[in-house]
């Protein structure tokens, strides 16, 4: 018998052979089970613990490995080694996701999409944890848990609630920009391959001369933008709840590797003071006419994970994962995210989540963090775990510190509504749409508002009118038509 033809032995977790995986041990053929059937106990006990907490949002997702290749020189803006020369390749892992649905939700729902990238650079992991939209609903992180409570299930009915969702959104006029995108024809991408990606926040670059630039990231799909209508998505979900996962998996399996070009927008540090918009406001874009897109390189996905739980479910991304040459900005939303992701992963995956292979850096990594649940990497063996020490064990690198960032201002709960231009950019976006796209926006909005209370619908019409009177009028008309249709049924 060849080795591959030989049956492979099943063992207990302790390595001992399992003698019977088909008949539990009982007292007599009809008798009750015996506690000494340790295989039954082990098998059930492991099964009972198979499910880990799902991500609070972005629970449904798909992942793939790939690489990033530099095509243009941006070393004048960033000293990050990932960008150091044209042609340089860096391995990466991407996880795409929907946001509001739970782990078993259908893929083709109207929602924003997560686009999280982990670049395994030679100086540590850089995570760009973005979405398929350039802006977000909020600009104060205190609202983030509320956003999720409003778009997820109602506490009494256990069902999603258009009323809760739109009550919340319409009370936050800064959400209108993002709401306009989600209700537009781009609100249901055909697949993860057919959408752009955005870092959304403003981040910073530091170059070798220690100059700081503010930067935004955009990824443009090579597959083209393709979307689904509400009717197409309803029909699709009826037959296939995993359409995005299937699309990504099969296209990579057959060698049709999806690609995106990465671009940056660069703002010199001093411009932030005089630029008419708050460049750290996540509800606004930087118009390309002010800060054009600069090409950086191409991201390709070319390998599917072997095991979805190990590599996709256990993946942990965080905006806090940056490397020398790439940094943060004063964006309050970004600042809050720097805490929330690692915190969620310590809860969801355990304190040693960074040693899980998909999360572990591919460069050497050393720290004095020790012990903790599920420490499986040897825990640095006999090495001492304190600093300062006399043995030249791992030292920090002050020479890599960013230059100081000048901050000023009195500590206070500053009202971000004092900067109250919520409407110009959603209005600009609306006016960029063709009449057909505007009509799709009106009708998608009316369907999505469903059975929300009339005063909530009116509040949305008022917000849209402030962005553009034609936007408000179009939504009002579509809502009337939807009401007439519902009354006739």
Binding site as annotated, residues for heme: 341
> Which CB, 95 or 177, lies closer to ligand HEM?
95
Q: Which residues bind ligand HEM (CB under 6 A)?
A: 55-58, 61, 95, 97, 114, 116, 129-131, 136, 141, 144, 200, 315-317, 333, 336-337, 340-341, 344-345, 348
CB of 152 to ligand HEM, least distance (A): 13
> Which CB, 108 or 476, lies closer to ligand HEM?
108
Q: What does each C-alpha distance from 149 to 152, 230, 309, 459 come to in angstroms?
A: 5, 24, 26, 20
Catalytic member of 58, 177, 196, 201: 58
Residues recorded for the chain: 489
CB of 348 to ligand HEM, least distance (A): 5
CB of 56 to ligand HEM, least distance (A): 5
Which residues are part of a known binding site? 341
> Which CB, 136 or 286, lies closer to ligand HEM?
136
Quick check: is 58 catalytic?
yes
Give the separation between CA 165 and CA 154, rounded to whole angstroms: 10
User: Which residue's Cβ lies closest to ligand HEM?
Assistant: 114
CB of 39 to ligand HEM, least distance (A): 34
Q: Which of 423, 421, 420 is nearest to 472 (CA)?
A: 423
Is the CB of residue 18 less than 8 Å from the CB of residue 7? no
> Which CB, 151 or 440, lies closer to ligand HEM?
151
> Which CB, 38 or 249, lies closer to ligand HEM?
249
CB of 234 to ligand HEM, least distance (A): 25
Catalytic member of 125, 131, 132, 304: 131
Is the CB of residue 388 less than 8 Å from the CB of residue 429? no
Which sequence positions are flagged as catalytic? 58, 131
């Amino acid at each position: 018998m060849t080795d591959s033809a030989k049956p492979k032995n099943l063992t207990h977790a302790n390595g001992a052979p399992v003698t019977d995986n088909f008949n539990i041990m009982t007292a007599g053929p009809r008798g009750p089970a015996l506690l000494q059937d340790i295989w039954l106990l082990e098998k059930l006990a492991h099964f009972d613990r198979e499910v880990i907490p799902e991500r609070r949002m972005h629970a449904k997702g798909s992942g793939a490995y790939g690489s990033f290749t530099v095509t243009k020189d941006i070393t004048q803006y960033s000293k990050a080694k990932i960008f150091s020369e044209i042609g340089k390749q860096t391995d990466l892992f991407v996880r795409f996701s929907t946001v509001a649905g739970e782990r078993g939700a259908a893929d083709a729902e109207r929602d924003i999409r997560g686009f999280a990238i982990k670049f395994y650079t030679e100086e540590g992991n850089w995570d760009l944890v973005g979405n398929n939209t350039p802006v977000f609903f909020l600009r104060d992180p205190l609202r983030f848990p509320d956003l999720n409570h409003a778009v997820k299930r109602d506490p009494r009915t256990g069902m999603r609630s258009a009323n809760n969702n739109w009550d919340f959104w319409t009370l936050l006029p800064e959400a209108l920009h993002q709401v306009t995108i989600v209700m537009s024809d781009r609100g249901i991408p055909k697949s993860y391959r057919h959408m752009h990606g955005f870092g959304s926040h403003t981040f910073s670059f530091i170059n070798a001369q220690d100059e700081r630039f503010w930067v935004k990231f955009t990824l443009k799909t090579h597959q083209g933008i393709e979307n689904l209508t509400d009717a197409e998505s309803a029909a699709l979900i009826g037959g296939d709840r995993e359409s995005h996962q299937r699309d990504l998996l099969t296209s990579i399996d057959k060698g049709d590797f999806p690609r995106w070009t990465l671009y940056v927008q660069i703002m010199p540090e001093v411009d932030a003071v005089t630029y008419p918009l708050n460049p750290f406001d996540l509800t606004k874009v930087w118009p390309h006419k002010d800060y054009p897109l600069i090409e950086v390189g191409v991201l390709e996905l070319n390998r599917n994970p072997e095991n979805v739980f190990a590599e996709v479910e256990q993946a942990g991304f965080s905006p806090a994962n940056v490397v020398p040459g790439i940094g943060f900005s004063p964006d309050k939303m970004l600042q809050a995210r720097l805490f929330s992701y690692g915190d969620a992963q310590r809860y969801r995956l355990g304190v040693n989540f960074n040693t899980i292979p998909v999360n572990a850096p591919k460069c050497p990594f050393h720290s004095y963090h020790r012990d903790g649940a599920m420490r499986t990497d040897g825990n640095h063996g006999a090495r001492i775990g304190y600093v300062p020490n006399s043995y030249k064990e791992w030292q920090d690198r002050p020479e890599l510190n960013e230059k100081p960032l000048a901050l000023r201002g009195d500590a206070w709960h500053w009202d971000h509504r004092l900067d109250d231009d919520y409407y110009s950019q959603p209005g600009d976006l609306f006016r960029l749409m063709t009449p057909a796209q505007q009509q799709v926006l009106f009708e998608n909005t009316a369907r999505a508002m469903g059975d929300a209370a009339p005063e909530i619908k009116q509040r949305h019409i008022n917000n849209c009118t402030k962005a553009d009177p034609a936007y408000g009028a179009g939504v009002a008309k579509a809502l009337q038509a939807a009401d007439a249709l519902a009354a006739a049924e």
